[in-house]
Structure 1
Amino acid sequence: MATIGERIVNLRKRRGMSQAELAAVSGVSVSLVRKLEQGARSDVRLETARKLAAALRVPTTVLIVDRGADEADVQAAGRWEPVRQALYGLRNRGEESPTADGVLAAMDASMPLWQGDSYGELAAMLPKLLADADVLVGEDRSQRVVRSRLLHLTGWLLTQNRQFEAADLALRRGLDDADDRLDAAMIVSTRCWLLLRRGQLDEARRLAVRWADDVEPRMSRATPRELSAWGWLLLRASAAAVRDNRPEEAQDAIRLARTAAVAASRDHSPDGDFLRTFGPVTVAMKRAENAMVEDRPDVVLRMSRSIPTSDLAPTSNNRNRHLLDVAEAHRRSRQYGEAFEVLRRIRHDSPEWIVNQRYAKAILNGIFAGKRTPDRDMRELADFVRMDGE
């Protein structure tokens, strides 16, 4: 299989471009282009691959190859190994027999941990909860629905922590247990996010579009659950398309998502499920994310002025992801102090979350590269997020 560097060389020569010309058109440094083509680098970020693909006039997926797990992923896998074993049914549940009420009560009690990105506590709690849910479930439909919800949450959490194989298993099992097409659609939406994080852009786009077509509601009588499921699938389709250098498809999908958001009138969580949170603010954040992917930091900063990021805004994950885009937009505008303050705010609100974000580390690296003398606070944050630990 050709490496990403070999594919860049072939496409660049087919376009009649020199390395310098490719660098100028894409906005990627000549040094990085040279290192990729020589095989000295293979760990290019998805954003960089998109820029190169746009300059070479091909979908991003033409360039992307499977780079395998890095050292940080291997280290993180240790924390989640008991969860993986529970998903495969390899862990004993203990001597006490679980009850339906007990499993439900445990899930309800754990919700603040999911919403608060408390990864350490969740990693310790999940193996037993998954084992109990497996023992409990027989033919009882209501209990299968509960397990489906737990598996969906687990897949979402593992995706967030880059445990992709285990996340895929959890989401597939959750989809098997789903008893409602809208529940299934939300699981598929999370699976599209998993595919996006793995760089499988075309598969994510096609899956999201297919399911969005299937669950598209009649707008005159659409329920909040229908609007959320349809809207999120459209957002996933747009995210995949913009990263795969398909701007028109991305715009069409997000335009339909805005239609769903207007119908929803405000951001809220159908059935009290934070993963379903959807509305105008959520869509605005994703529009800003698309603008950042398209390297339009001025648009991101302009949009951010009207996007609330308080505790009343959408889920912490989406809020923090938007704030990373704002930080990166400041950095690209050489507003290094403003970029750092956004990162410091995220660290204060979601310390476990930011440590797991490669994007945050890349932004901080860019701040260090732009400032002649990073101050003590910046150096301390770099140590906290283990900026050089990958």
Structure 2
Amino acid sequence: MAIVTWTGLEVAALRALRDTQIQFADRIGCSLEAVGKWERRGADITLGAKYSLCMDTTHRRLDDEQRARFYAALDDRREKSDPLALLPTRVAAPYPPRPHTEMAHPGSDGIVDKSSSGIRDGSIFQLRRVIMGCIPDSPPAEQFDLTAAVNRAWDLFFSARFDELKRELPAALASAYSAAEFAVGEPLRQINISIAKLLHAASNLLGYVAHEDLAAFALLRAEALADDSRDELTLAAIKASQSWLLVKNGMHDDAAAYADRVATDIEPRLSTASPRHIAIWGELLCYAAFAASGTGDYREARRYLRLCESAGIQLEGDYASRPEVSNVFGYASAASFGVVNEISANRPREALRLASVVTGPDTGIPPTLRSRWFVNVAQAQIHNRDDADAVDTLRWAWLMAPEFIGHVPLAHTLINELLTRRGKQQLDGLVGIAEHLGVSDQMGGTRP
């Protein structure tokens, strides 16, 4: 059994098994005051992600006798509390069954939707509930179905069909959680890996639709499952996305060091490594390069990218049968991140040279990756004052993945810049893209 959401009630019951408050605080690396506050406030306080993971680890190490004492103490504490405040639920390890109360948002994690209106109406709210542990009743899925659900989730993501993915992920996760309740041994390990991959897909989606905090929480859950399952490569792929989230939050130094460390840990022997191993390693190097570029260390970024090129050559640019559904690393990836690095280094011509690696609309690269590639190329063209070409490239980005491009802030920035440059020159197609994205036209007012 495990706990989905840790409040002061669960902390008090766990701590009382064998520790004083001082011993407990020392063991988990927090202050005595924090432990005291958690226990005093009980169900009114929810732990943040960092300490929740500490509690998960401590809880998993209990033996049967300790576990029985823990739940007996927890039930007693709950009975003495206000029943309406008891939002956390006891769950089957490491997944929650279906509580019939609504789960409050854990304020101490800061995991709150960017929009305060209509939060309970959309599919993001349903996905939030599942990630946070409020699981609806669902029949358990077979492993074959879980594998199909993972493939489907990543196909929807890379096809830029975000609305479908938002709708389907909660049910897929619920079925996976249900399956975990009835499994043991190797079948349970495989289910854990599938749930980790579904949470990974959810995190990538959430990161693009401006729910970065919830995306980070989903990755923490995914990381714990992959780690418990001893799946080194799935864990490394999840950590690559953690590096990406750090970059999105402006933490470039941390992201570069993190991606570099994980890439070093799994560095393959290229002549004998599996395609999946090479692809995950290559993706980590791309994120290390991206983060290094953000710090202004363009030389270090180029060093990472040269390693990326070596990995991409090994994979021969085969996107159609990619070795890892969550990973579309290939020969174009190094060039794409290279474009970003050279633009940051104020070398637009070198960026355009790298951009020429991928030409035309049909290279087998999935739509989300292709669309983002076009946005990067358009940025290089704008830096080189090739405005008309940049508009054409942005049109390709829009046509390739119209649902995706609206979630790329750089696309909005570039269109705004082109609108301010336009003057009397009419750039065909620019206004149409601006209208689609709701970008303000400096020359003609705000577009709907």
Residue 372 (1) aligns with residue 423 (2): yes
Cα deviation for residue 309 of structure 1 reads: 5.1
Question: Which residue in the other structure is 2:299 paired with?
Answer: 248
Q: Is the 8 A contact 1:115 1:274 kept in 2?
A: no
Residue 164 (1) aligns with residue 209 (2): no
SS in 2 for 1:171: helix
Q: Quick one: which of 156, 174, 179 aligns to 1:136?
A: 179
Alpha carbons of 1:263 and 1:202: their partners in 2 closer, same or farther (altered >3 Å)?
same
Alpha carbons of 1:239 and 1:263: their partners in 2 closer, same or farther (altered >3 Å)?
same
Residue 314 (1) aligns with residue 365 (2): yes
Q: Tell me the C-alpha RMSD between the 2 structures.
A: 2.8
Alpha carbons of 1:74 and 1:315: their partners in 2 closer, same or farther (altered >3 Å)?
farther
Q: Quick one: which of 282, 305, 328 aligns to 2:379?
A: 328
Cα deviation for residue 192 of structure 1 reads: 0.7
Task: Give distance in 2, aligned partners of 1:106 and 1:71.
Answer: 26
Task: Give distance in 2, aligned partners of 1:229 and 1:253.
Answer: 14
Residue 80 (1) aligns with residue 124 (2): yes
Cα deviation for residue 216 of structure 1 reads: 0.7
Task: Give distance in 2, aligned partners of 1:301 and 1:370.
Answer: 20
Q: Is the 8 A contact 2:236 2:280 kept in 1?
A: yes
Deviations, residues 137-172 of structure 1 (Å, cap 9, x unaligned):
144111111111111111111112221111111111
Q: Quick one: which of 157, 160, 164 aligns to 1:117?
A: 160
Alpha carbons of 1:97 and 1:318: their partners in 2 closer, same or farther (altered >3 Å)?
closer
Task: Give distance in 1, aligned partners of 2:292 and 2:352.
Answer: 22
Q: Is the 8 A contact 1:300 1:325 kept in 2?
A: no
Task: Give distance in 1, aligned partners of 2:118 and 2:178.
Answer: 28
Task: Give distance in 2, aligned partners of 1:200 and 1:333.
Answer: 28
Residue 93 (1) aligns with residue 137 (2): yes
Question: Which residue in the other structure is 1:127 paired with?
Answer: 170
* Aligned amino acid, residue 243 of structure 1: G
Q: Is the 8 A contact 1:73 1:163 kept in 2?
A: no
SS in 2 for 1:286: helix
Q: Is the 8 A contact 2:336 2:376 kept in 1?
A: no
Deviations, residues 179-215 of structure 1 (Å, cap 9, x unaligned):
3111111111111111111111111111111111110
Task: Give distance in 2, aligned partners of 1:73 and 1:336.
Answer: 34
Cα deviation for residue 312 of structure 1 reads: 2.9
Cα deviation for residue 222 of structure 1 reads: 2.1
* Aligned amino acid, residue 304 of structure 2: A
Cα deviation for residue 92 of structure 1 reads: 2.0
Residue 386 (1) aligns with residue 434 (2): no
Task: Give distance in 2, aligned partners of 1:260 and 1:111.
Answer: 22
Task: Give distance in 1, aligned partners of 2:398 and 2:174.
Answer: 33
Scaled by the length of structure 1, the TM-score of the pair is 0.75
Question: Percent same amino acid at aligned positions?
Answer: 26
Deviations, residues 273-326 of structure 1 (Å, cap 9, x unaligned):
343222322212221121122222222222222324534343333322221121
SS in 1 for 2:439: coil
* Aligned amino acid, residue 430 of structure 2: M
Scaled by the length of structure 2, the TM-score of the pair is 0.65
Task: Give distance in 2, aligned partners of 1:76 and 1:317.
Answer: 27
Alpha carbons of 1:73 and 1:235: their partners in 2 closer, same or farther (altered >3 Å)?
farther
Residue 152 (1) aligns with residue 200 (2): yes
Task: Give distance in 1, aligned partners of 2:172 and 2:211.
Answer: 19
* Aligned amino acid, residue 133 of structure 2: G
* Aligned amino acid, residue 122 of structure 1: L
SS in 2 for 1:219: coil
Q: Is the 8 A contact 2:309 2:334 kept in 1?
A: yes
Larger radius of gyration: 2
Q: Is the 8 A contact 1:269 1:275 kept in 2?
A: no
Alpha carbons of 1:196 and 1:73: their partners in 2 closer, same or farther (altered >3 Å)?
farther
Alpha carbons of 1:309 and 1:382: their partners in 2 closer, same or farther (altered >3 Å)?
same
Cα deviation for residue 74 of structure 1 reads: 6.1
Q: Is the 8 A contact 2:143 2:191 kept in 1?
A: yes
Q: Is the 8 A contact 1:204 1:240 kept in 2?
A: yes
Q: Which ranges of structure 2 fall in alignment gaps of 5 or more residues?
A: 1-109, 441-445
Query: Which residues of 2 match residues 254-333 of structure 1 at below 5 A?
Result: 254-268=305-319, 272-308=323-359, 310-333=361-384
Task: Give distance in 2, aligned partners of 1:257 and 1:347.
Answer: 27
Alpha carbons of 1:313 and 1:269: their partners in 2 closer, same or farther (altered >3 Å)?
closer
* Aligned amino acid, residue 225 of structure 2: D
* Aligned amino acid, residue 160 of structure 1: Y
Question: Which residue in the other structure is 2:39 paired with?
Answer: none
Q: Is the 8 A contact 1:175 1:184 kept in 2?
A: yes
* Aligned amino acid, residue 386 of structure 1: G
SS in 2 for 1:217: coil
* Aligned amino acid, residue 383 of structure 1: E
SS in 2 for 1:278: coil
